[in-house]
Amino acid sequence: FFIGAGAVHWARTLMSDVEIADERHPMAASPEVKAKVMADFAAGAAESGFGRRKLIRNTLFGALALVPLSGVMLLRDMGPLPERKLRTTLWAKGKLLINMNTHEPLRPEDVAVGSLTFAMPEGLSEHDHNFQVEIAKAALMIVRIQPEDIKDKRELEWSHEGIVAFSKICTHVGCPISLYEQQTHHVLCPCHQSTFDLSDGARVIFGPAGHALPQLRIGVNDKGFLEAHGDFDEPVGPAFWERG
């Protein structure tokens, strides 16, 4: 109560009703002041003998020249440069799509309408020491959509009889996508609810993801197995660089 009463009293009686303007003075110092500062600086330098004491001066310059090295050491501590490792995955032309549950190569007839099938590239094994690193980039989800329901022309060209393959890694912060809505062909990321339309180039229709899911171009080899026609043509996962 007393704080409130004090505030009201301050506002009604103590605070001035008169507007007061304080004109801003020029920011730059006058030529006389500048000249005085320079003269004082020169006098101080002459008195200290800094110009004549070459050892002290050169040591100071040497120390300044070495300052950027500390930045180099800090950056080196962050590990080797990723180079192209973040832009490429294990997918390559002719690599078979391996079912992540059965570990068998996938045929078109294995991909049923209405379900999400997860695949990894041929040659990758769960026993490999780099499995987690590689699967985090190469994980694929495959669905079968009626070709006439596919709205995106490039998506249709990169599919095989309506079977489309997209990166399973959400482009927001990289969670694996796992929920599929058959009627709408929408997939939902469980982390922050980004939703992608798999019948329209996997574009984002809801949520914080900034980019569509990258599509993998697929086909069928002469033995009837689904195979990749190359790597993704853009980086998968979170967009820590802008892809335009």
For the CB of residue 207, give the shortest distance to ligand FES in the complex, in Å.
Answer: 5
CB 220 within 8 A of CB 213: no
Instruction: Answer yes or no whether residue 173 interacts with ligand FES by CB under 6 A.
Output: yes
Q: Which of 156, 175, 205, 220 binds ligand FES (CB under 6 A)?
A: 175
The verdict on 176 binding ligand FES (CB under 6 A) reads: no
Is residue 192 close enough to count as binding ligand FES by CB under 6 A?
A: yes
Residue 163 · residue 230 · CB < 8 Å? no
Residue with tokens 């709205």: 151
**Pick from 105, 178, 181: nearest CA to 139:** 178
Pick from 117, 159, 194, 199 the residue near ligand FES by CB under 6 A: 194
Which whole-number Å values give the CA distances from 38 to 48, 67, 218, in the listed order? Answer: 15, 27, 73
Rounded to whole angstroms, the Cα distance separating 26 from 130 reads 64
Q: Which is nearer to ligand FES, 142 or 170 (CB)?
A: 170
Q: Nearest CA to 93 among 222, 236, 216?
A: 216
Nearer to ligand FES, 197 or 227 (CB): 197
Q: Between 220 and 239, name the residue whose CB sits nearer to ligand FES.
A: 239
- CB-CB contact of 143 with 129 (8 Å): no
The two structure tokens encoding residue 169: 């890694």
Q: Which residue has the tokens 């040659």?
A: 123
Q: Closer to ligand FES at the Cβ: 138 or 169? A: 169
Instruction: Verify binding: residue 189, ligand FES, rule CB under 6 A.
Output: yes
The C-alpha atoms of residue 171 and residue 176 are separated, in whole angstroms, by 10
CA angle 123, 212, 88 (to 5 degrees): 35
**Binding segment toward ligand FES, per CB under 6 A, in 13-21, 38-46, 72-80, 188-196:** 188-196
Comparison of 189 and 228: residue with beta carbon closer to ligand FES: 189
Pick the closest to residue 201 from 241, 227, 167, 160 (CA basis): 167
Of 195-214, which residues contact ligand FES (CB under 6 A)?
Answer: 207-209
The site for ligand FES, by CB under 6 A, has a size of 11
Nearer to ligand FES, 203 or 229 (CB): 203
Shortest CB 193 distance to ligand FES, Å:
6
* Residue 236 CB, nearest approach to ligand FES (Å): 13
Q: Tell me which residues touch ligand FES (CB under 6 A).
A: 170, 172-173, 175, 189, 191-192, 194, 207-209
